[in-house]
Amino acid sequence: GENVEQHPSTLSVQEGDSAVIKCTYSDSASNYFPWYKQELGKGPQLIIDIRSNVGEKKDQRIAVTLNKTAKHFSLHITETQPEDSAVYFCAAGKTGGFKTIFGAGTRLFVKA
Amino acid sequence: DAGVTQSPTHLIKTRGQQVTLRCSPKSGHDTVSWYQQALGQGPQFIFQYYEEEERQRGNFPDRFSGHQFPNYSSELNVNALLLGDSALYLCASSLVVSGETQYFGPGTRLLVL
């Protein structure tokens, strides 16, 4: 069935360093790839998304890349700050908002 | 601009009972999706409602049912609760014409004893 794998499950970095989270998806029909940040006791918050007609997208310290051929997509956070500490989820979906599949999450720790 | 709201925030039930969770979508949104998030895992899609109809469904039993009202708000009902139903239940809203972007509410944490 449809699946999204996410790595690593835990990531610890020093403040100011970069963090990279990688995901792969199985459904070749997926064309929408959002990333969510979830803080303790809260719902997931959309931080950036990318569509399959775009290979890369950047928003300040956050960037996403997509390789449709390899079915890989990645989240890059530069100049990490302690407030970036949270659980990050990747997801794969399709046009029209049909069933979005989430990865298992990456717990990011940014050490001051 | 109000975001997605859910009620209640926490709920404790016993096995065999029934529960109803509620969701109000972000202003202007017409589609509501429900997800179950077990501890330490990613959200799992339960079903999606649009125009008061269930549009698609994930791999959840018929004990899970829902409803969407004319004002686009939605309810999730779970019958015959099992211990394994303990989780955070998330509602996400979107606008069907603009596509895929979903915005999540804070969730309802359900504990089944």
The answer, yes or no, to whether residue B104 has pLDDT greater than 80, is yes
A112: tokens are 């001051």
Which one of B44, B94, B106 has the shortest CB-CB distance to A43?
Answer: B106
Distance of CA B42 to the CA centre of its chain: 15
The bridge status of strand B19-24 relative to strand B74-78 is: antiparallel
Q: Is B3 on the interface with A (CB under 8 A)?
A: no
Mean pLDDT, chain B, rounded, equals 93
The whole-number pLDDT of residue A38 equals 96
Per the CB < 8 Å rule, is A43 touching B104?
yes
In chain A, DSSP assigns E strands to 4-7, 10-14, 19-25, 32-38, 45-51, 56-59, 62-67, 72-77, 86-94, 98-102, 106-111
pLDDT of residue B79 exceeding 90: yes
Question: Do A91 and B90 touch, CB atoms closer than 8 A?
Answer: no
Tokens of B96: 């069907």
pLDDT at B95: 85
Q: Of B1, B12, B2, B60, which Cα lies nearest the Cα of B33?
A: B60
Per-residue pLDDT at A52: 83
Cα separation, B5 vs A101, whole angstroms: 22
Of B94 and A84, which is predicted with more confidence? A84
More confident residue, B5 or B56: B5
Give the pLDDT band of residue A41 (cuts 50, 70, 90): confident
Q: Which residues pair with A111 in a beta bridge?
A: A14
Share of residues in chain A with pLDDT > 90 (%): 81
pLDDT of residue A6: 97
Q: How confident is the model at residue B1 (pLDDT cuts 50, 70, 90)?
A: low
Residue A4's pLDDT is 96
**Cβ separation of A97 and B107 shorter than 8 Å?**
no
User: What pLDDT does A100 receive?
Assistant: 87
- A51-99 pLDDT, tens digit each: 888 789 999 999 999 999 999 999 999 999 999 999 999 999 887 666 7
pLDDT tens readout for residues B21-34: 999 999 989 999 99
* Nearest-by-CA chain B residue for A32: B100
- Residue to mutate among B100, B101, B103, B104, with most A CBs inside 10 A, is B100
